[in-house]
Structure formats: structure tokens, C-alpha cells
Amino acid sequence: MTKRILILSVFVVASCGLAYELIAGALSSYLLGDSILQFSTIIGCYLFAMGVGAHLSKYVREDDVLARFIDIELAVGLIGGVSAALLFMTFSWMSAPFRTLLYVLVFMIGALVGMEVPLVMRALNARDTAFNELISRVLTFDYLGALAVSLLFPLVLAPYLGLVRTGFLFGMLNVAVGFWTLYTFRAELKDSFGRALRASAVMVVLVTGFALSDQMVKWGEHGLFGDEIVYATTTPYQRLVITRWKDDLRLYINGNLQFSSRDEYRYHEALVHPALQALPWARRVLVLGGGDGLALREILRYPNIEQVTLVDLDPAMTHAFTTRPELVRLNHGSFSDKRVKVINADAAIWLQKDEGMFDAAIVDFPDPSSFALGKLYSVPFYGMVKRHLAANGLMVVQSTSPFFAPHAFWTIDATLREVGLRTFPYHAYVPSFGEWGFILASPQQQFVPPTSYRLPMRYLNAETTHEMFSFPPDMQPMPMAPNRLNTQSLVHEFEQDWRRVIR
């Protein structure tokens, strides 16, 4: 019976160890971007720390193995359990030490986790378990625990519990293993009562943290965003937060501002109308991204538009902007228009399967701050969009800032030209963002910027349109290589550009 308990404890501690690693990787990716860099460095640091912990385990005396195992469970439960909340609060209120704290916590947790399995193996070996059976059982349950949490984390834990609450949950599991071991081997252990008190105190801290997770996240996000949070949710794909200050609504995705209701009309008029003004015959429009319905609002102003297909990955995004009154007022109820068809899917996969043709395509994705987003700005992706575009149609791409991120902007331009599209870059001043860039592209036709518009505009007229398609000396074109999937140069260029701005 005691052997089974130790073997089962391996399953639990393996699950907890991997969970802390995934939480650290996901949280740093949300807050810092560049998911491959974050996960790669965290995994490397964690595995190195596990090796250090495995080495340190040899210094535990044979008569002290179970006691040290229980102490380690309490320590890793406490540190791992509070890690997500501590990291989030640190980033929200004093972002400077975030990276240092991130890797210190990852190393500490990894070192403690690295000691767990060797100590369990020594405890089993002391109970006359054959070596081959010992290795087989321990490693089997270790890998099974890792498999279980690797499936549960993205499908259930992160989207439904959130990262902070998930951290506290696995911390409680570690402490439960400590309690379980303490109770089972109480006759062999010294100071069982003292350890039980310490375990109880740690469990109270973790249970309290679990219960207060929502309040902690709200407090942290208040420090991060400053304004009142009117809506927040974690989905399998991203963290969505909507804030309000007086009459200003703002949408943040993974902490990055997507729009301010005070000036979003500038962005969306510039995104949509130069292309659609040049296509008075257009009937079918494709929108990729744009789950807030604001580009959709502008498209639907044209009576000649008969159908708009909007493809956005996250159903939580389109649902919020379809049902929440303040957001519906902002997009003028665009999702309720009978001409609109909403598809919640990965745009790249949908483009591969769909056979429809469109007169115009509006590509309104978040900036290419990660490799998951960078693929949506790549040569293969634009090639797929081109195949769905009429020969005399037009495509418009949100292309980050040609002033703050010029290398990224002109990389997107080079990528569109690589697939045989003629490009017509332009920019607009949006107070919330500064100078912002767009690239209009065509399979074959020449584009001439409009000198007038059929519809009334708040921002666009002949003068502002002329200025948009004219680049001053400090935003001139740069020779850049196209963004290919195997290198994702755009993500690196984007990161380097904005790093120079922050400095």
C-alpha cells in the first residue's frame, strides 16, 4: 500500500511540475510576446534547474528522505502556487523586475521539482523494490502525469480557470501530496505535528488565493490599464480586457491596446474606405480578424455590398461585440446585419478549405508580436488570400507603424509583393497609436487614391487621403526581405523596432 501511494504521488507531482512550467511560459508570452522565445528560455531554465535539484537530492540522508520529500512538497506548492499571481502583480505594478523574478521563480520551482522523483525512488528502493520495477513504475507515472496536464492545461485549465487560479490549484495538489505522505508514514517521521501545522498554513494561503483569484486579477489589471475594467475574459487564445474612462472604451488583447473609442474611426475609415471607394461594383467582402465589428461597421455603410464574410479565431471576441450593449453601440450592431456571416476559425485553415471569391479583402489582425500571429503576415498566407481575391479586386492589410516599426512595415510590403501583388502603402495619424500604417494591394490593377468619397466621413477627405499616400523623409521605404514561415523574420523585425522605441 505504501509503495502505491509513493508511485501515485509521482503522477501528481509530475502534473504539478509541468503545470508551473506551462503557466510561466503562457503568462510571459501574454505579457511579453514572442511565445517561442519565452517558452524556449523557460523550458531551458526549468530543465537545468531540475538537473541541479536532482544533483542536490543526493545530499539528503537516507533516514531523512520522506521528511525532506514532504518539506519539498510544501515549498514547491507554496512557491509554484503563488507564482502566477506574484508575476502578474509584479508586471502590473512594477514591470522592471518582472523578467528577473520570472527566471528566479522558474529556477526555484525547477530545482525543487528536480528533487522530488529521486527522493521517491530512494524511498521505494528502501522498501525492497526491484530496480527494474522501480525505474519502470516511476517513469511511467511521471510521463503519464505530464501527459494529463499537457492536455488539460490548454483545453480546460487556462481558458476556464485562468492562469492565476490554476497556479493555486496545483499548489494545493502539491500540499495534498505532502499531507498524504505525512499521514501514511506518520509512524516513521519525526515532528509530524509540526509538519502538519506548516502544511495546514500553506494550504490556507493557497485556498485563500484560489478564492480571491478574480479580485487579484482585477487589482493587477487595474494597475496595468489604469481605467475601470468593464469586461475581461481569458479564452483558449488570448486575454481580452475592455476598459472605460468617461466616454472612452478601450480594447486590450494580451495587454496590447487594439482601439480607443475616441479615435478608432480614424483607423477604421483609413482601413476600409480608400479600397471600397475604388470598388463601386464590389458585392462580396472578406474580413480576416476584425472581431470587434468596427471595420464591419464601415463596410456595411455601402449599399452595394451584398455579403460580408468575417473570419475571426476567437468566438468570445465576436460574442462580446455582438451582445454587450456598449460594444454593440460602438459597432452599430454590425454583427446583426443580415448581410454578415461570422466564422470562428483559424483564418489560415479556413482559407485553405474555402473556395469562395471576394471583391475586396480587409485583413485586420493584431500586430505580428508572436510567431502565432506572424504566420498571418507570411508569404503562404498572402498567397492564399490572393487566390480568393477577384482579379480586379483590392486587399488591405493592417501593417503596424511605418514610423515606430519601419522594418516591420516594409517587411509586410515586401511579403505582399513576393506573392505577385502590386502594393500601395499608406499611413494615417491615430492619436492613440501615433502614425499607423496600412498596405493596399492588388493582383493586377493600378490604384489611384480617391479624391472624394460617396459617403460622409469624419476623418477622410481629399486632403487627408493625399497625405496618407505620401510618405515624408523619415518614413521612406526600406529594402526588406519577405516574411517566410520557416524564419518568421517579421516577428524579429517587429520586436527589434519596438525595442528601439522603448529605449
For residue 228, CA distances in Å to 219, 294, 310, 323 come to 10, 22, 30, 20
Please confirm, yes or no, whether 364 is among the known catalytic residues.
Answer: yes
Cα dihedral 173, 179, 180, 186 in deg (nearest 10): 160
Whole-angstrom distance, CA of residue 303 vs CA of residue 315: 27
Tell me the CB-side half-sphere exposure of residue 376, using CA atoms within 13 A.
24
**Which residue is catalytic, options 364, 367, 413, 497?**
364
- DSSP assignment of 183-218 equals HHTGGG-SSHHHHHHHHHHHHHHHHHHHHTHHHHHH
Whole-angstrom distance, CA of residue 203 vs CA of residue 194: 14
Helix (H) or strand (E) holding 266: helix 264-277
Tell me the CB-side half-sphere exposure of residue 75, using CA atoms within 13 A.
16
Query: Are the beta carbons of 339 and 286 closer than 8 angstroms?
Result: no
For residue 160, CA distances in Å to 167, 189, 233, 239, 249 come to 13, 39, 9, 12, 25
Whose CA is closest to 185, among 77, 18, 55, 73?
Answer: 73
Neighbours of 31 (CB within 10 A): 21
Q: What backbone torsions phi and psi does residue 45 show, to the nearest 5 degrees? A: -65, -40
Buried b (16+ CB within 10 A) or exposed e, 181-220: bbebbeeebeebeebbebbeebbebbeebbeebeebbeeb
Q: What backbone torsions phi and psi does residue 139 show, to the nearest 5 degrees? A: -70, -35
End-to-end CA distance of the chain: 60
- Any bridge partners for residue 249, and if so which? 244
Cβ burial of 141 (10 Å; 0-12, 13-18, 19+) is buried
Neighbours of 404 (CB within 10 A): 18
Whole-angstrom distance, CA of residue 271 vs CA of residue 245: 25
Query: Are the beta carbons of 344 and 313 closer than 8 angstroms?
Result: yes
Whole-angstrom distance, CA of residue 67 vs CA of residue 224: 42
**What residues act catalytically?**
364
